[in-house]
Amino acid sequence: MPHSALLSDESYYHASVATEIYPTLQENAETAICIIGAGFAGLATAISLIERGERNVVLLDAETVGHGASGRNGGFVFGGYSLGERDLSAAVGVENARNLYQLSLDAVETIRQRIAKYQIDCDARYAGVYLANWFDDDRLLDAQQRFMRDTLGVEWQRISRQQLAERLHSQRYFGALFEENAFHFHPLKYARGIAKAIVAGGGRVHERSRVTQIVADGASWRVVTAQGAVKAREVVICCGGYIEKLYPALASAILPIATYVMVTEPLGERLQTALQTDAAVYDTRFAFDYYRPLPESRLLWGGRISIRERGAPEVARLLYGDMLKVYPQLAGTQVDYAWSGLMSYGRHKMPQMGKLPNGLWYGMGFGGHGVGPTTLAGEILARGLLGDAAALSKFAQWGLPSTGGAAGLLAAQMVYWYYELRDWLRE
């Protein structure tokens, strides 16, 4: 498999973003609200607070802004949750499912508005997203389109096989559904743009400030780092797949699951032999591919989930093979970047947000569908922190069930392999 001699574990996103360095916390500070984790959920909570007038906010991250899944993902911005639409409807009923789905669509619009409001240059392409049918069975798309329309009140456009073949030059697909209001972007540029807006709005951001302890301090909390501490009235934990041992009661409720992404060399006119669209694409399998065109005629390709992270050469080899199954005409393409990263899944595959009995707030468990829901969580947590916790009740039923630690990880891998095999047999 051709790959760059300079191929490393650094992501394309990190290689293509201007470095914005925020200071390490090296003092004892006081604030109204301290947020731990500068990924999408923590950033969204902070900017939502600032937009509501609460500027006394401190945001801490053990690494850098967007270091985890928020700065490594596929960059798809669309509605929904990791829990599928039918399972969501079965869990809460049609009316509640429609309401919850609309909240995720509202979050997509919030992201679009913030890109404009804060003038964030994040390579946003407002070109929609295709759900391409991997299987030679039109009933799949017909049923999904009907369900989205009749149950959730969402209209996805039906794309015929011939129409899709004019845009995606592959023998692999059999028509598609098109989500027009969806878009895709450079997630790390967006994360850094929000961090910049937080600071401009009066908040504080500290990178390389790993929290080692959270202790009650009278009616407040004391958040301790290696070189400083923050005394805060409220504390919000938004650490996702990188929570590690910070707070075991929360860490036990998520599974840190890895996914893989690669980016090709600039393809020039060759990209047009595969894609003649600016839209992003994923497919109807459980173990689906997801990909999108980037600036400089590069192609980003992601897929697979696993319980372990892999190095760049192995990620590149796996995804290069996946790409050629769909676009054999791209054989010989060089891979310039390949990386993996950890997402956080709750056992129920819905976002986990709320307030623990001891008073700590949390937002995590956004899985492989987190760009919209993390923004939604920020809005809901900000409202709760400012006294309006009504929206939190919509997510209360999912709670924080234990994922079973190492046994849970193994079970998750077995489930993935089962569905991968089922998809293969279905072909």
Residue 271: φ, ψ to 5°: -60, -35
pLDDT by residue (tens digit) across 350-392? 999 999 999 999 999 998 788 999 999 999 999 999 999 899 9
Query: At a CB cut-off of 8 Å and minimum separation 6, what does 411 contact?
Result: 404
Strand 28-36 with 229-237, pairing: parallel
In a domain, 90, yes or no: no
Q: Round to whole Å and give the CA distance between 51 and 116.
A: 15
Listed residue (25, 32, 30, 86) closest to 56, CA to CA: 32
Structural element, H or E, at residue 40: helix 40-51
Q: What angle do CA 106, 276, 159 make, to 5 degrees?
A: 60
Q: Round to whole Å and give the CA distance between 351 and 371.
A: 11
Q: Round to whole Å and give the CA distance between 254 and 96.
A: 24
In a domain, 371, yes or no: yes
Sign of CA dihedral 385, 386, 387, 388: negative
Q: CA-CA distances (angstroms) from residue 296 to 119, 192, 293, 404?
A: 22, 21, 9, 44
Q: What is the pLDDT of residue 267?
A: 97
Q: Round to whole Å and give the CA distance between 243 and 286.
A: 27
In a domain, 375, yes or no: yes
Residues of the chain with pLDDT under 70: 1-6, 307-308, 401-427
- Read off the pTM: 0.93
In a domain, 127, yes or no: no
- Given the structure tokens 């949390």, which residue do they identify? 362
CATH code for position 385: 3.50.50.60
In a domain, 196, yes or no: yes
Q: Round to whole Å and give the CA distance between 56 and 41.
A: 18
Q: Which domain holds residue 42?
A: 18-73+188-254+347-403
Q: What is the pLDDT of residue 418?
A: 47
In a domain, 138, yes or no: no
What long-range pairs does 414-421 form, CB within 8 A, spacing at least 24?
A: 416/286, 416/287, 416/305, 416/306, 419/286, 419/287, 420/286, 420/287
In a domain, 249, yes or no: yes
Q: Round to whole Å and give the CA distance between 123 and 192.
A: 13
In a domain, 224, yes or no: yes
Task: Report the number of distinct structural domains present in the chain.
Answer: 1
